[in-house]
Amino acid sequence: MYRVSLTEHSLLIRSTTDNLDKVRAFVEKHAAAASFPPAAVENVKMAVDEACANVIEHAYGNETGHVIEISILTFDDRLVVRLRDQGKKFDQTTYEEPDLATFVRQKKSGGFGVHLMRKLMDEVEYRHLDGQNETLLIKYRDAS
C-alpha cells in the first residue's frame, strides 16, 4: 500500500560542519513534534549528524561550496529523514563493517559512521539517481 507522508519539512545547508548544530536542532524539533520518544529522537539526531558529516567529508571532500538537502517526512508508523547531495557516489559494494578490536589495537579513530547509522536507525537506504545521492534514514514508531 502506498502511503503519503503526513508532514514534510526541509532544510538546505552548505557543506560545512559548522552547520551540524543547525541540522541537529532541525531534526530534534521535528522528531519530537512527531511524538517520538526522547531516546528515539536522540538516535535519529545522531544518525543524521553522522550522515551529514559523511557527505561533507566523503562526498564533497570537505569543500564548503556545496549543498545538502535534509527532509523529514512523518508517517503514521515511521519517520524518514532523506538527505540529498550531488557529491561523490558512495560505493556500497566496497563497504566493510569495521572491526572494533582492530581499531582499538591500531588506535584508529573514525570509520564507524555507516555502522553507527545502521545501529541507531531501523533502516538505512542509499541510492544514486540521476547524478544525485540519496540517503534514507528510517525510524519506526514501535521500534525504538
Domain that holds residue 41: 7-140
12: Cα separation from own chain's centroid = 14
> At 123, which CATH number?
3.30.565.10
What residues form DSSP beta bridges with 71? 10, 82
Residue ranges of E strands in the chain: 7-14, 67-74, 78-85, 123-129, 132-140
Work out how many domains the chain is built from and give that number: 1
C-alpha to C-alpha distance for 144 and 139, rounded to whole angstroms: 8
Asked if the structure places residue 2 within a domain, the reply is no
**Which element (helix H / strand E) includes 127?**
strand 123-129
Comparing 15-29, 47-61, 75-89, 90-104, the range with the smallest average pLDDT is 90-104
Asked if the structure places residue 1 within a domain, the reply is no
Comparing 25-39, 62-76, 94-108, the range with the smallest average pLDDT is 94-108
Q: Determine the pLDDT at residue 1.
A: 52
Q: Determine the pLDDT at residue 115.
A: 83
